[in-house]
Amino acid sequence: MYAVILTGGKQYKVEKGDSITVERLSHPEKEKEITIKEVLMVHDGKEVKFGKPFLKDAKVVCEVISDFRGKKLISYKYRRRKDSHWKKGHRQQLTKLTIKEIKV
């Protein structure tokens, strides 16, 4: 059984036991379990169910492993002969999740 979920503006194909890295989710420190209700599709081995845009009763239960910052990305802009250039760094805030259960 697998599902396609939407979080952080991106779609992820997940199965039970998978570990995924998504954009930072807001959650209290003591909360170690998150339920994602934005389920776009579920395939249970026999049939495929699609939502319009989301399935009503479907949800994915995830365990929060950690919050961390991603690898630094460098953005550099240079204009020749104009003595104009800039360099910026960016580190994305991320959350690591483990999929515990897919409920339909």
* pLDDT tens profile 31-82: 889 999 999 999 999 999 999 999 999 999 999 999 999 999 999 999 998 8
54 DSSP β-pair partners:
none
**E-strand stretches of 2-92:** 2-7, 10-15, 19-23, 33-36, 39-43, 48-50, 59-69, 73-79, 84-90
pLDDT grade for 89, boundaries at 50, 70 and 90: very high
What pTM was estimated for this model as a whole?
0.85
In the chain, where the domains are located: 2-103
**Max Cα distance, the chain (Å):** 63
pLDDT at 95 (0 to 100): 95
The pLDDT score that the predictor gives to residue 26 is 87
On the question of pLDDT at 20 being above 90, the answer is yes
Percent of the chain at pLDDT > 70 equals 100
Separation between Cα atoms, residue 1 and residue 70, nearest integer Å:
30
Is a pLDDT exceeding 90 seen at residue 28? no
